[in-house]
Amino acid sequence: MKKSKKPLYIIFSTAILIVACMILLSLDKTISIFSQEKSTAPVVVQQPAPNKPKFVHGVHLTAWSAGSKKFRKKFQKYIDETTLNTVVIAVKEANGEVYIPGVKQAEEFGAYVNAMPDIKNYIEKLKSQKIYTVARIVVFKDTIAAKKMPEWGVKNPEGGLWEDKKGLSWLDPFNKANWAYTFEIAEQCANLGFEEIQFDYIRFPSDGIIKDCRYSQPHSSGTAVQCIVDFIKEANLRLKPKYSLYISVDVFGLTTSADRDMGIGQRFEAMAQEADFICPMVYPSHYPKESYNIAEPNSQPYKTVYTGLRYASKRMEGNVSKIRPYLQDFSLGYKYNSEEVLAQMQACYDNDIYEWLLWNPASKYNFQALKSTEVINKKNTTVDISTH
């Protein structure tokens, strides 16, 4: 008796099923291997954030002020009798000087200046009085490092160091060696006990013959903005796994309303996304006449600051918790007293921004403005920023 032959379609279906199973098994093995590789990748764990005042109310001190025992004695009154809860101390300035010990490259460059010989003890004392401590580091404006390491600097068309209108040189923001130098300083700040690192001059040059600047990479608005954003990202990766700290960045006041990067690589919302806090320097004296349709911005501190921060709030879509403006507590062409300082604070509050820092280049601050806990009557200022 002959064996019956299986229909052809059954054989064909069985073959397809076997091939499909083999493909699935192979794919499953590939996925398994990929998952194993992914699971073994190192996980970056950040240190817990430090304790910060609910709302930072602070002042900036030069290194020479912070290092002076005479100044500290006078300044203690501000700590004891005002609403002050934060101190920003200059650790590296725009001339390239570094004011803390222990930064190897700074010492090799001759950049270290012993302006604060016992800074670690002073930081501990401030913290014992519930004063939040911030280290301000100037990043890319640095004549000392540029001259010691010309390959780090912004070049001119002839290949020498480019100089701004004051004859100062800058470090090339694209050069990662400059990032490493800054991070070395920041790490030493953290070792000394600072709870926040504030990067200033985190930008490309703005004064002088900018068209003559030559960089190590092609420069455009897009590449400049990305460079600055990447620097902040790298700072987070470099510092936060090791240290309990926040990172803040200082930006031009006009970045809150500028359509582009102003030629310096600062794009407000892009930088704010990566930093913990962003500090627009909304000094009324620094705004050109007719800014925001204000004839003399310096003579109208409330309206100038209010409008600038209104733009900032719009850029952040109302999420203003990262915004911590620098306010003007100095006179430049117009006399500033407590009324003008308080008006700027009020402009912050009327934008639902409750953090601020005061700036005075000589560390001389208006005691009455800092002592006041009262809010000035709301100005009821309505500014249609869509028209500016």
3-state helix/strand/coil string of the chain = CCCCCCCHHHHHHHHHHHHHHHHHHHHHHHHHHHHHHHHCCCCCCCCCCCCCCCCCEEEEECHHHHCCHHHHHHHHHHHHHCCCCEEEEEEECCCCCECCCCCHHHHHHCCECCCCCCHHHHHHHHHHCCCEEEEEEECCECHHHHHHCHHHECECCCCCECCCCCCCCEECCCCHHHHHHHHHHHHHHHHHCCCEEEEECCCCCCCCCHHHCECCCCCCHHHHHHHHHHHHHHHHHHHCCCCCCEEEEEEEHHHHCCCCCCCCCCCHHHHHHHCCEEEEECCHHHCCCCHHHCCCHHHCHHHHHHHHHHHHHHHCCCCHHHECCEEECCCCCCCCCHHHHHHHHHHHHCCCCCCEEEECCCCCCCHHHHHCCCCCCCCCCCCCHHHC
- Averaged pLDDT for residues 24-53: 56
Mean pLDDT of the chain: 89
Residue with the larger pLDDT of the pair 334 and 374: 334
Query: Going from the N-terminus, what domains does the chain have, and what CATH number goes with each?
Result: 47-375 (3.20.20.80)
48 pLDDT band, cuts 50/70/90, is confident
Per-residue pLDDT, 84: 97
What is the pLDDT, as a whole number, of residue 375?
59
Which residues lie below 8 Å from residue 372, measured CB to CB, with a gap of 6+?
83, 338, 342
Degrees to nearest 5, angle at CA 28 with 24 and 29:
120
Residue 262 has a pLDDT of: 92
Rounded Cα distance, 270 and 249, in Å: 12
Residue 23 has pLDDT above 50, yes or no: no
CB 330 within 8 Å of CB 284? no
pLDDT at 256 over 70: yes
Greater pLDDT, 248 or 35: 248
pLDDT band at 75 (very low <50, low <70, confident <90, very high): very high
Residue 131's nearest CA partner among 69, 77, 88 is 88
Taking 80 as the threshold, does the pLDDT of residue 247 lie above it?
yes
pLDDT of 212-243, one tens digit each? 999 999 999 999 999 999 999 999 999 999 99
Query: What is the model's pLDDT at position 37?
Result: 42
Query: How far from chain centre, in Å, is Cα 58?
Result: 16
294 φψ region: left (φ > 0), alpha (ψ -120 to 50), beta (else): beta
Structure confidence by residue, pLDDT tens digits, 314-358: 999 989 999 999 999 999 999 999 999 999 999 999 999 999 999
Residue 44: predicted pLDDT? 57
pLDDT in tens, 287-313: 999 999 999 999 999 999 999 999 999
* 256 contacts 315 by C-beta, under 8 angstroms: yes
Contact (CB, 8 A) for 91 and 136: yes
Residue 18 — pLDDT band, cuts 50, 70, 90? low
What confidence score (pLDDT) does residue 28 get?
46
User: What is the structure's pLDDT at 376?
Assistant: 52
Entry pTM? 0.86
Q: Is 219 exposed, middle or buried (0-12, 13-18, 19+ CB in 10 A)?
A: buried
Residue matched to tokens 């869509």: 386
Question: What pLDDT does residue 47 have?
Answer: 86
- Give yes or no for residue 34 having a pLDDT over 60: no
* Chain-centroid distance, C-alpha 363: 21
